[in-house]
Structure 1
Amino acid sequence: MTTAATTAAVPRPEKLPVWLKATHGLGSIAYGVKDNGFSTFLLLFYNQVIGLDAGIVGTAIMVALIADAFVDPVIGELTDRTRSRWGRRLPWLYAAPIPLAMAWMLLWSPPEMSDAMTIAWLIGFAIIVRSLVSMCEVPSVAIVPELSADYDERTVVMRYRFLFGWGGGLLILYLAYRWFFAGSLGLVDPAGYFPYALTGALLMAGAVMLSAVGQHRRIAVSNLDQPRPTAKLSHVLRDMRETLSNRAFLWLIFAALFAFINQGITFSMTNYLLGFFWQLSGDEMGDYVFLLFATMVAAFLLVAPLSAKLGKRGGAILAGAIALIVNSSMYLAWIQDIFPGLPGKPSVAVFFAMVFVGNTFSIILMILSSSMMADVVEASQGETGRRSEGLFFAGYFFMQKCATGIGIFLAGQILSFAAFPASAKPGEVGDAVLGNLAIGYMVAILIIGTLGLIVMRKFPISRADHEARLALLDDAARAEPDASGAHP
């Protein structure tokens, strides 16, 4: 361990009150609302309502997504270096929400202008919105390793973030299906997008502000708030490169890359799979939203005992394997014509049951991966002497956004492979096309997911490693005053 490692404090491995964990998780509603908009409605809005070509809109969204990804590491480093009387993170959480709400409204309200200007509007405000969400999410999630160094408690904190993040996204989705777009025009009703955007803006701004206020007393003054001094750009870039070269960090983001590619494929194909493949009705789509929230609750309850039993790495690998097997097997059953309800409409009850199991364990995998990222902080601190929570989670988000872009691209390739027709109607797409869609989707998620689990086995931090590292850092911090001559 370097001498520099003792210059940064280490949080206590303590259990946190439930109110603090819930208040912290509340802020992730903004991320859930943003994700719902970009994954489910933005392409449809600019294509079907505004009238732009779908291929151009998809490309514009991917350009904005990848451009925004490069902003995240900068935000992470800036939050780690922020100096204020409220510490490193709170100024960002107070400053970003109101501009985020305004930018969100503008994203869904393009004025009448040429197609080229509308595309520029889409790209520009998509980047602004995603960057402002990062200014809320990066400092917020960077607080997790600062709240407690306890190996299991970090998983518990993360599960609250996922609970509220999924809850926020599913709430706005439910309101969209049942209220904003309940008319005869459905999801292409222009009148539904103003209340959709306004509700999302209020939810995002309100959640982040309430979360910041609720945590203020706990995190405004912290013994961990020892930001690095202002340095030359070359020194900042050197520190960032050194920090992000951490072996545990690289293995983790490499493994998560495959998981988020699969997530990107699945999310971007959701409306195709639900409407055309599984042929869900409007009411069943509403029930599907409740089902997804139930999977989040199940993951919330199961992730802590699973992690306690197997450790984060072992729990993540088991959860990922179960999710892969269940999610691929229902498409294999359809291909083999043995899924209940065939021929005809597949059984909704069986489909929902399999989604419940598969999605529950998919979420558990994501929660444990995020919790593992928190443990990377101390591993890096032992090597560099710096606590770089913001930079690490920003790097994680950078990878996630790039992977999602890849997933969207691959989803398009799967649809092309299946020769999916334009202007298709549920129940009227041929079995050959649906079969190719099932084969393409199943093979893609199986190969990509299996590679991710193989890489996950290389993650080097176990519970014992983490606790031993905490002890070394704590001993070094206690010994530092004597070594520096501060005490006789």
Structure 2
Amino acid sequence: MTAAAKAVPDARRLPVWLKATHGLGSIAYGVKDNGFATFLLLFYNQVIGLDAGVVGAAIMVALFADALVDPIIGELTDRTRSRWGRRLPWLYGAPIPLAIMWMLLWSPPEMSDAATIGWLIAFAIIVRALVSMCEVPSVAIVPELTADYDERTVVMRYRFLFGWGGGLLILLLAYGVFFGGPKGLVDPAGYFPYALTGALMMAGAVMISAAGQHKRIAVSNLADAKPAGSLGDILREMKKTLSNRAFLWLIFAALFGFINQGITFSMTNYMLGFFWKFDQGEMITYVFLLFGTMIAAFLLVAPLSKALGKREGAIVAGAISLTVNTAMYFAWIQGVFPGLPGKPSAEVMFALVFFSNTFAIILMILSSSMMADVVEASQSETGRRSEGLFFAGYFFMQKCATGIGIFIAGQILSYAAFPSAAKPGEVGDAVLTDLAWGYMLAVLVIGLMGLIVTRQFPISRADHEARLALLDDAARVDPDASGAHP
């Protein structure tokens, strides 16, 4: 049986250089996420001048529309036949168009509000689709590299390390360089260098990562041809694959987590500048703090997963994050947060965010690692390995959830009657209190629902290892019937 036709990859440890090179490609996703979740609402609201609720709704519409493309991309990557295998043609072809479209997203010409909304929706869809053409085949490589239950978590933590690192690097440049002038984050001149730097980072990271893994994953599958089938046949196969019980529970649970992430990221600049009243130095320190939480999560996630398992580890991490984050805003509302009345203590806020964000990242890493284990669960039912389709389905849910989160953030801002062209220190306490209540209650309710659903995920370490043994036995008995041909 050739390397391309193995039913299940070896359950083996991978060299650090390969895990790091693989993770490098997620920088593009981190830069995109930072832009969409942290700056896009602010840019089109405070700089362009559109209503926050309208912008939030437009972004949600764009993400819903774009999300429909993801399962198609996933299925196409699974069916791609080339002398370099299924994933590399996508990783070499998508980055340059992505960089160009990213620049255009942040450069709307002067036109009517309706036309500007159309521009936002169109380029948001195009950018997110191109990011999927980079991210879906890249993350689909994870279950192909190793079948080891714990090693998949380790590989995923490298993806999150570079993804967060890329997003935080562009955020650091934004706070410290691009928007360092007196106008701050509402300076229109800062958005061109911000967009250009992001475009170069995204294209460069994906192409370097693909080239670095080339020798390891460039295995021809041209001989692995199978009839394409009718569109109806393909859709029926996709439906059967995506009906997997473990997959459905996991994306349902993750839906709530990514809604909360969309709310939090979209409101970050509002909260830091107007609520916590950070100056530029504290903004920069906050970026380093977030990178510190990524390092802490990188170190803690593997031992936590080994001790508790992925599902239980995710639930514990989510509960800790939710409790700390909610308590922080409740203390502010009650007037007992250190530093009140007046400017809240940045040091105390930093300490609480460190714990909250560390465990939030651990939750996300474990959720992604759990998705890799769904591949073999589906293979045992359908006879197909559908890494691309599963992770595309995961991204489909993530985009829908992020869109919902951004929409909810816009509605919270509208509910609080947050003023346009606002200046830090000039927003009334009543507005800030409504903002805090809206944010805290939304995050608390949505987060609790996510943790309840996570308990239903059915794959444990023992389940995964038993399934690997059965698939391996089937592959040795009958390689052609093992589901090796996706």
Same fold (TM over 0.5): yes
Q: Which runs of 5+ in 1 are unaligned?
A: 1-6
1:81 corresponds to which residue?
A: 79
Q: Is the 8 A contact 2:64 2:399 kept in 1?
A: yes
Which piece of structure 1 moves more, 14-23 or 104-113? 104-113
* 453 and 65 in structure 1: CA distance in 2 versus 1, 3 angstrom threshold: same
CA deviations over 1:131-182 (Å, ceiling 9, x no partner): 1000000000000000000000000000000010011111111111111121
Match of 2:156 among 139, 155, 158: 158
1:18 corresponds to which residue?
A: 16
TM-score, scaled to structure 2: 0.94
1:62 corresponds to which residue?
A: 60
Q: Is the 8 A contact 2:81 2:222 kept in 1?
A: no
Hey, what's the Cα distance between the residues in 2 that align with 1:54 and 1:483? Answer: 54
Match of 1:373 among 347, 371, 374: 371
Find the residue that maps to 1:106 and give its secondary structure.
helix
1:340 corresponds to which residue?
A: 338
1:206 equivalent to 2:194? Answer no
Hey, what's the Cα distance between the residues in 2 that align with 1:55 and 1:326? Answer: 28
1:3 corresponds to which residue?
A: none
* 110 and 133 in structure 1: CA distance in 2 versus 1, 3 angstrom threshold: same
Q: Give runs of ≥4 in structure 1 deviating > 4 Å.
A: 222-228, 481-484
Q: Is the 8 A contact 1:9 1:223 kept in 2?
A: no
* 268 and 62 in structure 1: CA distance in 2 versus 1, 3 angstrom threshold: same
Once the 2 structures are TM-superposed, how far is the Cα of residue 224 of structure 1 from its aligned partner?
A: 12
AA of the residue aligned to 1:181: F
AA of the residue aligned to 1:83: R
CA deviations over 1:96-116 (Å, ceiling 9, x no partner): 011111111222223344444
Aligned length: 478
AA of the residue aligned to 2:309: G
Find the residue that maps to 2:43 and give its secondary structure.
helix
AA of the residue aligned to 2:402: T
1:412 equivalent to 2:410? Answer yes
2:129 corresponds to which residue?
A: 131
Once the 2 structures are TM-superposed, how far is the Cα of residue 225 of structure 1 from its aligned partner?
A: 9.5
Hey, what's the Cα distance between the residues in 2 that align with 1:143 and 1:483? Answer: 22
Match of 1:110 among 95, 101, 108: 108
Please give the root-mean-square deviation of Cα atoms over the aligned residues, in Å.
Answer: 1.9
Q: Is the 8 A contact 1:88 1:225 kept in 2?
A: no
Once the 2 structures are TM-superposed, how far is the Cα of residue 414 of structure 1 from its aligned partner?
A: 2.5
Match of 1:279 among 269, 273, 277: 277
AA of the residue aligned to 2:94: A
1:185 equivalent to 2:183? Answer yes
Q: Is the 8 A contact 1:144 1:374 kept in 2?
A: yes
1:4 corresponds to which residue?
A: none
Q: Is the 8 A contact 1:8 1:226 kept in 2?
A: no
* 385 and 16 in structure 1: CA distance in 2 versus 1, 3 angstrom threshold: same
1:30 corresponds to which residue?
A: 28
Hey, what's the Cα distance between the residues in 2 that align with 1:400 and 1:96? Answer: 20
CA deviations over 1:37-84 (Å, ceiling 9, x no partner): 111222333334344444433332222111110010000000000000
1:240 equivalent to 2:222? Answer no
* 330 and 376 in structure 1: CA distance in 2 versus 1, 3 angstrom threshold: same
Once the 2 structures are TM-superposed, how far is the Cα of residue 453 of structure 1 from its aligned partner?
A: 0.7
2:310 corresponds to which residue?
A: 312
* 78 and 109 in structure 1: CA distance in 2 versus 1, 3 angstrom threshold: same
Q: Is the 8 A contact 2:52 2:413 kept in 1?
A: no
AA of the residue aligned to 1:426: P
AA of the residue aligned to 2:444: L
Match of 1:92 among 90, 95, 100: 90
Once the 2 structures are TM-superposed, how far is the Cα of residue 223 of structure 1 from its aligned partner?
A: 8.3
Match of 2:449 among 427, 446, 451: 451
TM-score, scaled to structure 1: 0.94
Hey, what's the Cα distance between the residues in 1 that align with 2:264 and 2:167? Answer: 16
Q: Which runs of 5+ in 2 are unaligned?
A: none
Q: Is the 8 A contact 2:318 2:359 kept in 1?
A: yes
Hey, what's the Cα distance between the residues in 2 that align with 1:347 and 1:174? Answer: 21
Hey, what's the Cα distance between the residues in 2 that align with 1:262 and 1:252? Answer: 16
Q: Is the 8 A contact 2:59 2:407 kept in 1?
A: no
Once the 2 structures are TM-superposed, how far is the Cα of residue 334 of structure 1 from its aligned partner?
A: 1.6
* 233 and 100 in structure 1: CA distance in 2 versus 1, 3 angstrom threshold: same
2:120 corresponds to which residue?
A: 122
Equivalent residue runs for 1:339-488 within 5 Å: 339-480=337-478
Find the residue that maps to 1:386 and give its secondary structure.
coil
